[in-house]
A and B are shown apart, each in its own frame.
Chain A
Amino acid sequence: MQPAELVDYAKTLDCIHCGLCLRTCPTYRLTGAEPSSPRGRIYLMRAVAEGQLEASDATYRGELDFCLACRHCESVCPAGVRFGEMIESARAGLSAVQHRPVLARLARWFGFELVLRSRWWLSASASAMRFAQRTGMARLLGRWGEALLAMPLVPPRSERAPLAATHGARAPRRGSVAMLEGCAMRELYGRVNRATVQVLTGIGFDTHVPAEHVCCGALHAHNGELDAARDLARATIAAFEAFGDDAIVTNSAGCGAHMKGYGQLLRDDARWRERAQRFSRRVVDFSEFVAAHAPTAFSTGAVRELGTLTYDDPCHLCHGQQVRAQPRTLLELAGARRVELADAEACCGSAGIYSLLRPADSRAVFEGKLAAFEASGADVLVTANPGCHMQWESGFKRAGSRARVLHLAEVLACALDAPAARRDG
């Protein structure tokens, strides 16, 4: 492969080296090191493309691995650098030139090719994880096991059952939507999926869930497995074409940001490009959809009983999709007692599987967030992404905090189903 193909060279030229991204970058904040900043990483990518630096350089790989791909830098970049896409292609380039140790390759294959591609393997792994957590066998798995034990307990099989294919509207019908059930969301937060259905049907939408769909490929792309990501994108597009032009609602910020970018991911695939673009235009985050269609359906007061809430922007919702106002507005309109979280747009350190791959760095990033939460005086942390959900839950557990974590859909579901809501509806 030519050096210039190992990174997205053209995009590196968009960076004008002004440094306005530095302060937003979680890894620069931790280290103060230029190579651990977006500007520094782009400089290294460009150096690789121009043949100044070998792509096999250990520090190059180290800096790419260290990045959380939170895309905070994109939100402040005046030159419009698309860092998220750049880090994905640079990581893909790395996979092409670098020889990972056998064990790491095996783990990647197991995760990306097996588990995240099959419902059976997903469910089996979730069961195995739960077993390892409950019996303490996880302790035998070393570093991975420790990460596993730090995670919230995987729910029992009964809560991990797939959603039914169709859910009829429970209020005067306004239309229909297709919903992404997701991979991690289904296994770890089935209750969030059920709450999502409850809200969507509760505001008058028939909700369809494609039965055989497994994963949108976001985790693959973020980790540089672009070929697998394209495969999964094509499968996802095909699965959702069955629902005509219905909106595709997702309650996972990471999946939403990724699926909105399918057009870009498949831009060189003549047969799929247009289908991908059409698909991407249909994708909406849960909060966007609800705010657009039924923002006032939740004014029951039931939400007040949850205590004081604070909303933490998932990176791939605020930086990846520019969705900031809708979740806050919905909470306000639902009558929540809400306080702002300082630095809500900063990454919590979850970053997909980053928290498993680099637990120490992930926790270091989280520390600042925890301090901000404690200063906010809130009782409940509201999020909109399964990775962040898990990060906050394990963080609270570690800190011995009694604070709770809820997905926005769970909060709204509780408002919707209060008796008052039925009266209004």
Chain B
Amino acid sequence: MRAEVVHELREILGRAGLISEPGRLLTYECDGLALLHERPELVLLPRTTDECARALRVLHREKIAVVGRGAGTGLSGGATPVKGGVVLGTARMRDVLEINAVDRYARVQAGLVNVDLTLAVEELGLFYAPDPSSQHACTLGGNAAENSGGPHCFKHGSTTRHVLGLVIVRDDGSVLDLSRPAVDPVGYDLVGLFVGSEGMFGIATEITVKLTPTPAVTETLLAIFTDLDAACDSVSDAIAARLEPSALEILDKLTIEAVEASVFAAGYPKQAEAVLLIEVEGAEAEVEMTLAELSRIVKQRGAIDVRRARSAAERKKLWAGRKGAFGAMGRIAPDLYVADVVVPRTKLRELVAATTRIAREKRLKLANVFHAGDGNLHPNISYDRRDADEVARVLRAGEEIMRVVVAAGGSLSGEHGIGIEKQAAMSLVFGDDDLRAMCRVRDAWDPEHRMNPGKLIPVHVCREMRNAERPR
């Protein structure tokens, strides 16, 4: 990049808003998926929408690619600058701008960490419902870009159900203000369109989100199984019985061992083959009824014990264990590959077993911890990125898992996004016509393909589109 451009950007953002030393840039070469990496030429950390817009105008003029980044906890390589260019981080944009407890919304800067919003509104009897396991690190901007979920999204729905408005800085540095706290968008729902766009439609700088009232009663159950299949079957049964707990999460034996060895040890019994973590919230009578039904189901399916959290502290501990599960896998091997497939909930048992089989065939260590209620599996494969052969086997296993799941009527990703990791697999679910339609939507937002290039759309479709655009 030309020195004058760097200088110009530094003038806009100040010294603290620009990182250009090669050593420091190295730390931006990947996100939570360390498998694939590429060092950016420059990192920009604006403080405000205005700074962000002015910087993007310069990058537009210079035709430089821009990759948005929140906290870099993404698991599909979304924030990795595969085509070089500039990483634009929101880590300094973390102000709470407005809280309206009556109309129940908050307007915040996009770099605010998910849990900090809940902490800011807790005293008002409100919370922000989508709770990714990474909620102590990930940003609301990243959540919006990935349409993230979390254990409690089983009841409350994923991020898209909670984003009311956005301020977006577009590829050319223009600012699109869509921040009305209204529930029903008039005209095209551009906010809905942006959520889940993986940084390819522009940079969100402000987000208006819905706040949810803290339920009157919350109860947590831990059902203990000596058999993973039985845990899966009880979830299928609970869904069939039309029960609506707020969360249904399964952890298998390997995951339990890792969690119990960590600072987040939650008291999951180590001899269990699986535990099912259940949360139910609402009015007291309704909660008790649901709990009774669920207890009956898990016992029928062979749970050897059902424990109920006795205090808020105990509940918190059970959840901290669940949410620390990915990280705890660091005890098993240096790296972790997290698949994110969604399966029909009537087929939980078979497909969980299929993932285990695939890993075994490839001599890989697999742990399962997943949002069972949504059928969103996270087969976690431990590996060491320094072992090229193992890396190849991991990638093949990931692909096979997606194939098996898609063949059974499932989907590639529940919440982590496509990024670079599942890009090729898009063709498993979408025909070229579908993908071309997606490309045309992207063209409307980013005609030069400078926003997070090289993601989501399979390479062959991009190439074909580019050829078609050439003047004949």
Q: A18-B32, A20-B137, A80-B262 are in contact. Are A32 and B27 (CB under 8 A)?
A: no
Closest to A18 in B: B327
Residue among A18, A19, A40, A53 with max Cβ neighbours from chain B (10 Å) = A18
Asked if residues A19 and B73 are in contact (CB atoms below 8 Å), the reply is yes
Minimum Cβ distance to chain A for residue B31 (Å): 8
Known: A17-B32, A44-B26, A78-B262. A32 touches B92 (CB 8 A): yes
Given known pairs A32-B89, A59-B21, A76-B136, the reply for A16 and B327 (CB within 8 Å) is yes
Interface 0/1 of A14-39, CB less than 8 Å to B: 11111111110000100111110101
Q: In whole angstroms, what is the CA distance A47 to B26 when docked?
A: 9
Q: Nearest Cβ in chain A — how far from B255, in angstroms?
A: 11
Give B325's nearest chain A residue, CB to CB: A78
Docked Cα-Cα span, A17 to B34, in Å, equals 7
Closest-CB distance, A252 to chain B (whole angstroms): 24
A63 in the interface, Cβ–Cβ < 8 Å? yes
Closest chain-B Cβ to A104's Cβ sits at a distance in Å of 21
Interface range on chain A (Cβ under 8 Å from partner)? 35 or more
Cβ contact within 8 Å between A43 and B27? yes
| In the complex, chain B residues whose CB is within 8 Å of the CB of A77 | 263, 327
Instruction: Indicate whether A420 reaches chain B with its CB closer than 8 angstroms.
Output: no
| Chain A minimum-CB-distance residue to B25 | A35
How far does the Cβ of B108 sit from chain A's closest Cβ, in whole Å? 15
Using an 8 Å CB-CB cutoff, how does the interface string of B107-147 with A read, 1 for contact, 0 for none? 00001010110000000000000000010111000000000
A107 at interface by CB-CB < 8 Å? no
B23 at the interface (CB under 8 A from A): yes
Q: Is B23 in contact with A60, judged by CB distance below 8 angstroms?
A: yes
Whether B91 and A32, one on each chain, are in contact in the complex, defined by CB atoms closer than 8 angstroms, is yes
- Decide if B71 touches A76 in the complex (CB within 8 Å): no
Q: For A78, give its contact among B19, B24, B330 (CB under 8 Å).
A: B330
Measured in the bound complex, the distance between the Cα atoms of B331 and A32 in whole Å is 27
| A18 in contact with B134 (CB, 8 Å) | yes
B residues within 8 A CB of A16? 326-327, 329-330, 334-336
CA distance A33 to B92 in the complex (A): 8
A80 touches B261 (CB 8 A): yes
For B23, B32, B73, the residue with the greatest tally of chain A CB atoms inside 10 Å of its CB is B23
Asked whether any CB of chain A lies closer than 8 Å to the CB of B202, the reply is: no
A57 to B261, CA, bound (A): 36
Minimal beta-carbon separation of A419 from chain B (angstroms):
39
Task: Determine the distance from Cα of A267 to Cα of B328 in the docked complex, in whole angstroms.
Answer: 26
Q: A78 to B43, alpha carbons, bound, how many Å? A: 28
Specify which chain A residues have a CB less than 8 angstroms from the CB of B71 in the assembled complex: 19, 22
A15 to B111, CA, bound (A): 24
With A19-B71, A19-B137, A32-B92: A14-B23 Cβ-Cβ less than 8 Å:
no
Measured CA separation A121–B221 after assembly (Å): 62
- Is B327 in contact with A35, judged by CB distance below 8 angstroms? no
**B373 part of interface (Cβ distance < 8 Å):** no
Report the minimal beta-carbon distance from B350 to chain A, rounded to whole angstroms. 29
Please give, as numbers and ranges, the residues of chain B lying within 8 Å of A22 by CB-CB distance.
Answer: 71, 137
Q: Is the CB of B16 within 8 A of A31?
A: yes
Q: From residue A23, how far is it (CB to closest CB) to chain B in Å?
A: 5
Asked whether A52 lies within 8 Å of B26 as measured between CB atoms, the reply is yes
Does chain B have a CB within 8 A of A13? yes
A81: Cβ under 8 A from any B Cβ = yes
Q: Does A114 contact B (CB under 8 A)?
A: no
A321 within 8 Å of B (CB atoms) = no
B23 near A23: Cβ-Cβ < 8 Å: no
**Quick check: is B264 within 8 A (CB to CB) of the other chain?**
yes
Task: Flag whether B375 is at the interface (Cβ < 8 A).
Answer: no
Complex contact B27–A35 (CB within 8 A): yes
Q: Residue of A at shortest CB range from B113?
A: A23
Question: In the bound complex, do residue B27 and residue A34 qualify as a contact, i.e. CB atoms below 8 Å apart?
Answer: yes
The residues in B between 8 and 57 inclusive whose CB is less than 8 angstroms from any CB of A are 16, 19, 21-24, 26-28, 30, 32, 34, 43, 45
A19 touches B331 (CB 8 A): no
Known pairs A18-B32, A23-B137, A76-B136; A35 contacts B331 (CB<8 A): no
In the assembled complex, A97 has its CB within 8 A of some CB on chain B = no
Most chain A CB inside 10 Å of its own CB: which residue of B24, B30, B264, B324? B24
> Which residues in B have some Cβ–Cβ distance to A below 8 Å?
16, 19, 21-24, 26-28, 30, 32, 34, 43, 45, 71-73, 89, 91-92, 94, 111, 113, 115-116, 134, 136-138, 259, 261-264, 324-331, 334-336, 384
Minimum-distance CB pairs A-B, first 4: A79-B330, A78-B327, A32-B91, A16-B330
Q: Pick 13 A–B contacts, CB within 8 A, sort by A.
A: A16-B326, A16-B329, A20-B136, A32-B111, A33-B24, A39-B27, A43-B26, A44-B27, A59-B21, A59-B23, A77-B263, A78-B325, A78-B330
